[in-house]
Amino acid sequence: MLLKLAGRYSNYHFGCKSSVLNYIAQALANELRTTDQANRDNCGFDNVEKSNKEKYLTQIETSANLSKESQLKHKIAGSFEAAMAYQILTSCSFGPAVRTRFFVKLLKNITLTECDRSKILQAVQDVYGYEIQEL
């Protein structure tokens, strides 16, 4: 379990050997799973992140907000698979539409295929109008 945590959170570290031993003692004292459950590949550290992504996307899809930005986020959440939709929505800030262009500000470095870009453009056109021709 500690190796999974270390791989997952590389920026966390222990100051000394006694800190590690204290942490392990507390973790084992509070462990409710059997060793077979804890040693499985689907142990559960990744499931928390996955459930947070699903909650975020569900919140966007069920939002009653009728603003154009909210409608665009709803379209993107429905157009992509959950992991990709989450990555796009948390990595981009949507700006204004000016004439035939729609501005998208990248907050994180992500890689989009040409197909992904065309899906985003289609969602923008659905919300802001078909005069938008480029992102």
- Least Cα distance to 74 among 58, 60, 53, 95 occurs for 60
What pLDDT shows up at residue 81? 87
pLDDT in tens, 35-91: 676 666 665 555 667 778 888 888 888 888 888 888 888 888 888 888 888 888 888
Percent of the chain whose predicted confidence (pLDDT) is above 70: 76
**Long-range pairs for 102-105 at CB < 8 Å and ≥24 separation?**
102/128, 102/132, 102/134, 102/135, 103/135, 104/135
Structure pTM?
Answer: 0.60
Domain ranges of the chain: 2-38, 46-128
